[in-house]
Amino acid sequence: MAETWVNPKEQSGDGTLPGQAAGTDLHLELSGEGSLRSRLMHALREAVRSGRLAPGTRLPPYRSLASDLGIARNTVADAYAELVEEGWLTARQGSGTRVAPRASPLQPDRTRRPHRPARRHVLHDLMPSSPDAATFPRSAWLTSARRAVAAAPNDAFGVGDPRGRTELRGTLTEYLARARGVRAAPDRIVICSGFAHGLELLGSVLKGPVAVESYGLDFHRSILGKAGLRTVPLTVDSYGARIDELPDTGARAVLLTPAHQFPTGGPLHPERRAAVIDWARSSGGLLVEDDYDGELRYDRQPVGAVQGLDPDRVVYIGSTSKSLSPALRLGWMVLPGWLVDDILAAKGPREMWSGVVDQLTLADFIACGAYDRHLRRMRQHYRRRRDLLASTLAERAPHIKVSGIAAGLHAVLELPENTEEAVLRAARRQGLALDGLRPYRHPDSTMPPRHGLVIGYGTPPDHAFAAALDALSLALPDPPQDGR
């Protein structure tokens, strides 16, 4: 059957085809010489050649484009008609004028591009510590979103308060006290877009060196470094960070992951929890508590927040990145009263980071109990994955010690000395994306380096998790030979 088309000149009087919405935006610059029609045709051809207008893209009705460009309607209609005849565009009754399917963008000159090695295809993502994206509670979240938006006052849709919505701060006050042992009040909570954002705000107001755990996220150290703050490493052992080293560091603040040390695993020992508060009180220092996965504990009740021991010496930071999704970009800082104004001054006079609708939705999601229900399901879900990881390694690689599995979304696999890089190369050959321990080590740390892998078990979909563990088992080193 032959293709039929209609001349744009034969469109309806208002320049639109039946069923076609008027007013589609199209940016064109009619530069160069020649008539307006020829310059318009040149601009449209270049937009197609460059790929800016992809095949199938619907163009605005000629009347709308003429109005936007400030030129006569007949000029646009004639240009469309000629480009249809040339094969650049097509026009169908009821479909409007579109870029022709055969119109392909200009290919770049690849001879001018630097050669880059091909990136190996990733079959299994075992990077820490992303949650399982498929488990996001879409229906419950949408229910809360509808209810929250319907109930929101009109001022919720104006300029955002940098403290965050009062509904969310009030709900978090109750939830954090109940679930994490945090002592808070709404006026001491500032909403942020996640831990990194909170740390950036703190970095702008903190003074002096900041002590950090010898193993931790390098981009957290980078955030503090960009703020002009030197970081000093604390030794990490099976009881967490060595708090007794703090007085000799000259630090004015210390950043810790007390509930589940990242990435090595394990909570901060109770005596050290008390010791860090004693240090903060006696020195006028500050503890920055990163509670990144405090709710995800599997073998016993979650460890409460250190903040509850002294709210005036601790900045508590949490987020939805592990419990719900990093895509929400929602976090919270529970601050000492004396620090609130400084943080708000650093954040600015209006909310520029976290969307009001998401804040309102999270407030409802927590208040109606959906958040607690979701966390209970996730603890069961991730515990099953954790157990499968442990049992697979016990069967396939019993010589590999697994640690840090009482909580969170990752485990640490201890490796023989000087084998980490070789195992990472073997893992890449198996299509695995995962981390070694080496990048987490502070460059100034004096503690002996550990050799291992940091395995995230939250990201792979259920149907692919067993295959990911099979590939991991194949990448691990063989057991040591007798006598070696």
Q: Which has more confidence, 53 or 137?
A: 137
Indicate the pLDDT class of residue 105, thresholds 50, 70 and 90: low
CB 227 within 8 A of CB 200: yes
pLDDT tens digits along 322-335: 999 999 999 999 99
- Beta-bridge partners for 297: 407
What's the pLDDT at 96? 84
Query: Cis omega (within 30 of 0) on the bond before 129?
Result: yes
Q: How far apart are CA 123 and CA 21, in angstroms?
A: 43
Beta strand pairing status for 314-319 and 286-290? parallel
What's the pLDDT at 482? 62
Indicate the pLDDT class of residue 219, thresholds 50, 70 and 90: very high
pLDDT > 70? residue 38: yes
Task: Say which range, 74-83, 91-100, 266-275, 404-413, has the weakest mean pLDDT.
Answer: 91-100
What's the pLDDT at 130? 86
Q: How far apart are CA 254 and CA 288, in angstroms?
A: 6
Q: How far apart are CA 256 and CA 217, in angstroms?
A: 11
pLDDT > 90? residue 155: yes
Edge-to-edge order in the sheet of strand 410-414 = 402-403, 410-414, 452-456, 435-436
Indicate the pLDDT class of residue 87, thresholds 50, 70 and 90: confident
Indicate the pLDDT class of residue 449, thresholds 50, 70 and 90: very high
For helices 195-203 and 218-226, the axis angle rounded to 10 degrees is 30
Q: Which has more confidence, 343 or 122?
A: 343
pLDDT tens digits along 332-386: 999 999 999 999 999 999 888 899 999 999 999 999 999 999 999 999 999 999 9
Q: How far apart are CA 352 and CA 360, in angstroms?
A: 16
What's the pLDDT at 27? 84
CB 315 within 8 A of CB 287: yes
Mean pLDDT (whole number) for 238-265:
96
Residues 54, 55, 56, 60, CA torsion sign = positive
Indicate the pLDDT class of residue 169, thresholds 50, 70 and 90: very high
Q: Residue 253: phi, psi to the nearest 5?
A: -150, 160
- Beta-bridge partners for 92: 96
pLDDT > 60? residue 17: no
